[in-house]
Structure 1
Amino acid sequence: MKRKLNLLYVAAATAILLSACGTDTENENKDVKTNGTAGTTQEVETDTESVDDGTDPVPESQKVVLKDAILTESDEQDYSIYLLPTYTLTSEEPGRDSLYVEGEEEIFMRIETMKKEDGTFDYLVENMNEILKAASDGNAPVELTDEEKLPSGEDISTVKASKVQTETGTVTGIVFERGDMIVRLTLFDSPKEEHTENFVRMGETITTK
């Protein structure tokens, strides 16, 4: 029951704050589409060779983690991502997808992408912290600074991340820039954070289609 209340607080805070930023709400009742459009299975090499499939290469340090990941395109947003087996990408509404753990739908990562414009990054970081605060019944988020646990790779810059603890798990927010795109990830994981590493590693492969 507590997890459901937390998710309701997060959803309410996100809807209010994003509507102030001009989010299109005309399609908010749109049926959820399940499963992104999958590409071919990507057998990621574990040596130093680059992946040559016409897309940005998987970050060198993550090739073992992302072995057998599948290149998948979002149905509603202009990006592709490498997905590990047992994870499913669904579109909630325009501008917002969820990456679920199969069989554990309460554990997921929300993905939002926006075009890079003046002020957008700072707004998303501020909004992210408000969402985390709402999810934890008012507790202040703790900033994450360990670079090894944050997204990295070609063209990724200006990464900001924070985390809060709740009674049922952890909620982590990450905002980063990649080229002309800004990506915001919101991770809902268990107290042991079994999936946080995988979420981050998949998240850092997000690139424009």
Structure 2
Amino acid sequence: MKINWKLLLTGFSAAMILTACGTDSGNDNEKSNGSSGVVDETETNVDETNDTDLSLEDENEDEGQEQENVQSDMDKAALQDSDAQDYALYVLPEYTLTSEEPGRDSLYFGDDGEYFMRIETQLSADGDYEYLLENMQETLKASADTEELTEVTDEEKLPSAEGIERVKAFTVQSEDSPITGIVFEQGDLLIRLTIFDSPEAEHYNDFIQMGETIQKK
């Protein structure tokens, strides 16, 4: 029996070609898979960046909404004169302004009066800013029976309406709740506020917003 060498060599060559094609195909798949991995990683980074941007947008929207809510609340406030001092201010519906003694009023929250802001005013020409500031600090120390005061430096927690100058504020933690003293100048008035708030300081922003509206009658 004669071997057909030509046919055998042809078959062998075809087998080698198929093997080579298979190898190249495998290499191409590996390259393709590698390239796909890079693309997937890039897409992941883009997704993470988008998530961060969305988170910042949500946070900014929350802050903006909170500011709008404060402004909306003050839209409900009514202008009220002090009975004993020469000023007026805008008072929110849940608060009551009462004159306790000459030169000293209290702005109470709710019916029980547990949380309130004491208001004292003087004409700038007659008052002494440095004395008010020093006296305010001594009063805070005596109220909490401590020598440790913390200065309030966060501008969002200070009166900042147009015309307000020389703002200084200190806070102290009493046994039950925080007490904050603020002294500032507004037009012709020197103003001293003392805030006796809840443990969570939940009325602080209201007191500040109303205090900013104090104006000479």
TM-score (normalised: structure 1): 0.68
| CA pair 189-94 structure 1, distance change in 2 beyond 3 A | same
What residue number does 2:166 align with?
A: 158
Equivalent position to 1:149, from 128, 148, 157 = 157
What pairs up with 1:85-164 in 2 under 5 angstroms? 85-117=93-125, 120-164=128-172
How many percent of aligned residue pairs carry the same amino acid?
A: 57
Larger Rg computed on CA atoms: 2
Consecutive unaligned residues of structure 2, counting only runs of 5 or more, are: 1-67
Equivalent position to 2:92, from 74, 81, 84 = 84
| CA pair 78-61 structure 1, distance change in 2 beyond 3 A | farther
**1:119 shift after superposition:** 6.8
**C-alpha contact 2:95 2:107 (8 A) present in aligned 1:** yes
**Other structure's SS at 2:141 match:** helix
**1:161 shift after superposition:** 0.2
**Other structure's SS at 1:105 match:** coil
Q: Which amino acid aligns with 1:159?
A: V
User: In structure 2, how many angstroms separate the alpha carbons of the residues matched to 1:118 and 1:202?
Assistant: 24
User: In structure 1, how many angstroms separate the alpha carbons of the residues matched to 2:103 and 2:69?
Assistant: 29
1:94-132 deviations in Å (ceiling 9; x for gaps): 110000012231211000000113871110010000000
**1:62 shift after superposition:** 5.5
User: In structure 2, how many angstroms separate the alpha carbons of the residues matched to 1:112 and 1:119?
Assistant: 11
What's the RMSD between the two structures over aligned residues? 1.8
User: In structure 2, how many angstroms separate the alpha carbons of the residues matched to 1:170 and 1:70?
Assistant: 27
| CA pair 62-159 structure 1, distance change in 2 beyond 3 A | farther
**C-alpha contact 2:127 2:190 (8 A) present in aligned 1:** no
TM-score (normalised: structure 2): 0.66
Looking at secondary structure, tell me which structure has more strand per residue. Answer: 1
1:160-191 deviations in Å (ceiling 9; x for gaps): 00000011101000000011210000000111
| CA pair 62-86 structure 1, distance change in 2 beyond 3 A | closer
**C-alpha contact 1:75 1:91 (8 A) present in aligned 2:** yes
**Other structure's SS at 1:151 match:** coil
**C-alpha contact 1:139 1:164 (8 A) present in aligned 2:** no
What pairs up with 1:164-179 in 2 under 5 angstroms? 164-179=172-187
The answer to which of 117-126 and 170-179 deviates more is: 117-126
Counting matched residue pairs gives 150
User: In structure 2, how many angstroms separate the alpha carbons of the residues matched to 1:137 and 1:110?
Assistant: 19
**C-alpha contact 1:187 1:199 (8 A) present in aligned 2:** yes
- Misfit runs of 4+, over 3 Å: none
Looking at secondary structure, tell me which structure has more helix per residue. Answer: 2
User: In structure 2, how many angstroms separate the alpha carbons of the residues matched to 1:153 and 1:63?
Assistant: 13
